[in-house]
Amino acid sequence: MSAQYTVTATREAEASGAVGLAIASLPASFGPAATGDDATVAAIDGTSGWTTEAIRAIDGGASGVVVVNPVPENTAALRDAAETARAAVVLDQRWASNPGLAGAEDAVRSVAGRAAMLDTVATAAAGTDPERLLTEHLAAVVRVTGQLDALRVLRRGSHGYTASARLANGAPVSLQGVLSDSRPAGVDFRLYTDDGGVSIAVPEPLAAWPAEVRAIGPQGEILLPTIYESAHRTTWRRLKEHLDAGTTSSDLAGFARLTESIAHLS
């Protein structure tokens, strides 16, 4: 039987990442620590300064760190600390961590050479920081499409943003961010090809609501298998796999590329 790991979470991480619910759904894998010093895993919120807090947790003996909804930061020092200590740092991202995006990635990349346009809209509650929404939006898009070219912001304000980019084959990408309470939060994708495309709808990670991925072609529309698991729970299962195997995670390297893209936005 594999080990159970003990967890401590900051109040902010619990509020934004449903840490308690996620680890309660994996009782054979994780349990609450008696004190912070006894924890083998630290869960922290991804607000400004999260890389410093993660390094502090690793220096304090944590073998695993979960970062909930991280904002762009330089991760170089954290990557060095994690590699030196052989600690696994995983990122619990709002939409990019949804398990349904694995199938979406395969569906999109199988027709990427014939892509004509990608239209994607992210919606969050009014008052949400648009810069943070853009980070969460781009993380989900890049998870599915790979790196975007010529990324730039055309408009941004208190109600959202409009950005553009290009896919690897040169097809245009439109990204819209909407801050409103009149639409359910989530992110939608529409990839158009010469004979169909792929549509993806990713809900909030508050419960095990599934992402819906549909491939459309000459044969009609196919709904890919749905996965009834929250993004939060998926993140913790990934962490357990790394801890059991004694491996580190590639999340920070991928996030570094995302951060670099955002830093060069014009």
- The CA distance from 211 to 228, in Å, is 8
Domain boundaries, the chain: 5-94+231-252+259-263, 101-223
E strands, 10-148, in order: 30-32, 41-45, 64-68, 88-92, 115-124
SS3 176: strand
- The CA distance from 125 to 114, in Å, is 35
Q: Report the pLDDT value the prediction gives residue 2, as an integer from 0 to 100.
A: 67
**Is-contact 220 242, C-beta < 8 A?**
no
- The CA distance from 163 to 118, in Å, is 12
Q: Which residue in this structure is represented by tokens 């995983």?
A: 90
Q: Report the pLDDT value the prediction gives residue 232, as an integer from 0 to 100.
A: 93
User: 162-190: per-residue pLDDT in tens?
Assistant: 999 999 999 999 999 999 999 999 999 99
Q: Report the pLDDT value the prediction gives residue 49, as an integer from 0 to 100.
A: 96
- On the question of pLDDT at 263 being above 90, the answer is no
User: 26-72: per-residue pLDDT in tens?
Assistant: 999 999 887 666 789 999 999 999 999 999 999 999 999 999 999 99
| Nearest Cα residue to 265 out of 165, 166, 119, 172 | 165
At 208, is the pLDDT very low, low, confident or very high (cuts 50, 70, 90)? confident
What's the full length of the chain, in residues?
266
Tell which CATH architecture fits domain 5-94+231-252+259-263.
3-Layer(aba) Sandwich (3.40)
Residue 178 identity: V
Q: What is the mean pLDDT of the chain?
A: 93
- The share of the chain scoring above pLDDT 90, in percent, equals 83
User: 78-115: per-residue pLDDT in tens?
Assistant: 999 999 999 999 999 999 999 999 999 999 989 999 99
- On the question of pLDDT at 225 being above 60, the answer is yes
Higher pLDDT, 46 or 16: 46
Q: What is the pTM of this model?
A: 0.92
The CATH classification number of 101-223 equals: 3.30.360.10
Q: Report the pLDDT value the prediction gives residue 266, as an integer from 0 to 100.
A: 54
